[in-house]
Amino acid sequence: MLVYHLPGTLDTREAHLDLLWEAGATGLEERAGTIRAYFEIRADLPAEIADGEWRLEADQDWLAEFKANLKPVTAGRVTIVPPWLTGEVPTGQLPLIIEPGMAFGTGHHATTRMAVEALSAVPLDGHSVLDVGTGSGVLAIAAVLLGARTALGVDIDPQTIPIARENAQINGVPDGRAAFVEGTLGSDLPEHAAPDGVYDVLVANLYAELHDLLAGEYAAHIIPGGPLILTGILAGKLSMVQAALEREDFTDVTVRMDGEWALVTARAPQ
């Protein structure tokens, strides 16, 4: 197997990825700060991507290996599985099928798991849910499977929207119950439209600095006393989120930790 090792990540070398495809790469993968580009034959590469190194490696079907190592993830009343593991959902659990791919949210990250657990623990029947930073759509879809009347997933990354819609479809979520749009909350990000309205429940798996920035928007988009579920918060940044919620008059703040990650729940100001 011929692999071209290019220093950097899929983010930092985003502008160069097309050059790798154009040169004949059959697959790209990121591992520990290096992009691995798979080739069938050695190619002449343009100067922008000439800082890498060609290596001949033992053959391995990395996609098959990745798939073989995936396990179902149980979070509250939901078990998240890729499409080929639906048979492994324990009896009584709600299956949530997510095709592992480009969007964050397969259930294998502690933050996603804690957010689904938190959704399982709040009354959702007949409620509306706003999922900020929807990624694969996993939290919005979980909310509908758990009984929410509607869920709206928003994300600033346009690539996530068709993926989230497809995941909703795979899970048999009717069109009117889950919607996904490119967008966010907050006037500091004016290029993205803010979704209108007020929701019964708001969930957001982002990061602490963004929760701090958006705390006022969260308060404005949840019914008085409605639940707020926040994660994506590293332990060291937890106090920033707690201070933001206090500033915006949220009440009943609770914290759960899983390793270095925190999940915070609160109730919107009355």
Closest alpha carbon to 57 in 78, 36, 43, 76:
36
CB 4 within 8 A of CB 20: yes
Which is nearer to ligand SAM, 52 or 105 (by Cβ)?
A: 105
> Considering the complex, what minimum distance in angstroms separates the CB of residue 2 from ligand SAM?
32
State in angstroms the smallest separation of the CB of 131 from ligand SAM: 6
**Sites of contact with ligand SAM (CB under 6 A):** 104-105, 111-112, 115, 132-135, 138-139, 154-157, 160, 184, 189, 205-206, 210, 232
Return the structure tokens found at 116.
């689904």
Residue among 184 and 242 whose Cβ is closer to ligand SAM: 184
Give the Cα separation of 159 and 202 in Å (integer).
22
Asked whether 254 and 266 are in contact (CB, 8 A), the reply is yes
Which residue's CB is nearer to ligand SAM, number 115 or number 129? Answer: 115
Nearest distance, CB of residue 186 and ligand SAM, angstroms: 7
Nearest distance, CB of residue 266 and ligand SAM, angstroms: 18
Q: Measured from the CB atom, is 25 or 132 closer to ligand SAM?
A: 132
Residue 49 or 265: which CB sits closer to ligand SAM?
265
Least distance between ligand SAM and beta carbon 65 (Å): 23
